[in-house]
Amino acid sequence: MPCTVIVGAFWGDEGKGKIISYLALKDNLDFCVRTGSVNAAHTVWYENKKYALHMVPAAFINPKTRLLVAAGANVHVAQFFKEVELTQVQTRIGIDENASIIEEKHSAQDKASAVNKGIGTTGWGVGPAIEERVKRTAKLAKDLPELKPYVADTITEINDGLDQGKNVLLEGTQGFMLSLFLGGGYPYVTSRDTGASAIASEAGVGPTRVDEVIIVFKSFITRVGAGPLPGEITKEEALKRGWFEVAAGTGRERRSAPFDFDLAKKNARINGATQAALTKLDVIFPECNGKRRFDDLSAEAKQFVKEIEEKTGVPVTLIGTGPNALDIIDRRK
Ligand code: IMP
Ligand code: MG
């Protein structure tokens, strides 16, 4: 640590929630800052319970971690309260006073838009909510009386924490290929920049204060909604390989494709990745399920990890071998 950005490498759903929940416990995070909006769901499996979090930071499983929702984030109030109740984090969660609010009308606008239908948005209304923020007509967290107990100056809190050498994790959402500016997939993108620099920016952290950027790769690639997916396989083939997934947030079927080394290299570079996490290794190499030591992986699995390191030039320091937060091979010093 102390200031780490977690960024998704592909089209989201790489397993960022799992990596963050592991780091929350292992590195005893002092702060975890959620960026983005309600369209992204982070899955955390802990003590036999599954959580799909759209608002509360994935580090909630460490009771000592201060949980913050960034100034650049966009808050769905009902979902926020639902998750605060579920995770019981009332005393240690804060929302930046200037975070914007997403309302019911935005979801209706999203669903009524032919353009958004063609893109296959999640339907939460994030695009219309951000449009309103850009128009300078959005409500902010400080405008809502019901949020008063949670409203904070998170930018000062985070930067004070960094001054004091605290462990701060900036939780990126979605994937780099969905970036409004950088992934090259416009118009099949989301309504914000999802890259590492933007994650820091949303949280109010300057680029020179970031120590580590962990890019999260999944062992195969998935995408929901429309837009190109190089190397896409059929649903039948995905089912056969065990790659078929249904979205945690929307229940939509995910499309899938094999791991793409060239894309991994390109995105590691643009995001300035210093480390990589690799999730779901056990899905492509079932014999690796639950392993917690690199030496215990099969030769084939080790070769796959080495190939990623060689081709991207980034060390694969964290490897997910099962859904539980602690099913991780940690190769950091
Ligand atoms: P929107 O962000 O709901 O406007 O959707 C725009 C595009 O981003 C669609 O292709 C969505 O499927 C995709 N998308 C948005 N959030 C996520 C996410 O958290 N995981 C995966 N795809 C997402
Ligand atoms: Mg997700």
DSSP state of 246: B
Ligand 1 centre and the CA of 213: distance in Å?
22
Cβ neighbours of residue 164 closer than 8 Å, sequence gap 6 or more:
none
Round to whole Å and give the CA distance between 90 and 84.
Answer: 6
Closest CA relative to residue 125, chosen from 144, 136, 141, 138: 138
Beta bridge partners of 275: 214
Ligand 1 centre and the CA of 122: distance in Å?
6
Average pLDDT, the chain: 97
Q: Are 53 and 93 in contact (CB under 8 A)?
A: no
Phi, psi of 100 (to 5 degrees): -90, 165
Round to whole Å and give the CA distance between 231 and 213.
Answer: 27
Closest CA relative to residue 46, chosen from 329, 326, 328, 330: 326
Q: How much is the pLDDT for 251?
A: 86
Q: How much is the pLDDT for 148?
A: 98
Which amino acid makes up residue 26? K
Closest CA relative to residue 177, chosen from 219, 142, 145, 215: 215
pLDDT-above-90 percentage for the chain: 98
Which residue is it, tokens 């099949």?
188
Number of CB atoms found within 10 A of residue 94's CB: 20
**Which ligand sits closest to the CA of 74?**
1
Beta bridge partners of 220: 258
Q: What residues line ligand 1, using a CB cutoff of 6 Å?
A: 11-13, 39-40, 119-122, 124, 126-127, 174, 178, 188, 190-191, 224-225
Identify residues whose C-beta is under 5 A from ligand 2, the ion. Answer: 13, 41
Query: Would you call 13 a catalytic residue per the annotation?
Result: yes
Q: Are 73 and 35 in contact (CB under 8 A)?
A: yes
Q: Taking residues 312-326, what's their average pLDDT?
A: 96
Ligand 2 centre and the CA of 153: distance in Å?
27
Round to whole Å and give the CA distance between 177 and 267.
Answer: 8
333 — pLDDT class (breaks 50, 70, 90): confident
Ligand 1 centre and the CA of 188: distance in Å?
9
Which residue is it, tokens 């809502």?
144
Parent domain of 270? 3-330
pLDDT at 1 over 90: no
pLDDT 10s digits, 9-35: 999 999 999 999 999 999 999 999 999
Report the greatest alpha carbon distance in the chain. Answer: 58
Atom of ligand 1 lying closest to residue 40 CA: 19
DSSP state of 192: S
Query: Would you call 106 a catalytic residue per the annotation?
Result: no
pLDDT 10s digits, 149-192: 999 999 999 999 999 999 999 999 999 999 999 999 999 999 99
**CATH code of 267's domain:** 3.40.440.10
Task: Give the total number of structural domains in the chain.
Answer: 1
Kindly calculate the radius of gyration of the chain based on its CA atoms and give it in whole angstroms.
Answer: 19
Closest CA relative to residue 220, chosen from 261, 181, 190: 261
| Alpha helix ranges (H) inside the chain | 16-26, 77-87, 104-112, 114-119, 126-134, 154-163, 196-203, 235-241, 261-270, 281-284, 299-312
pLDDT 10s digits, 190-245: 999 999 999 999 999 999 999 999 999 999 999 999 999 999 999 999 999 999 99
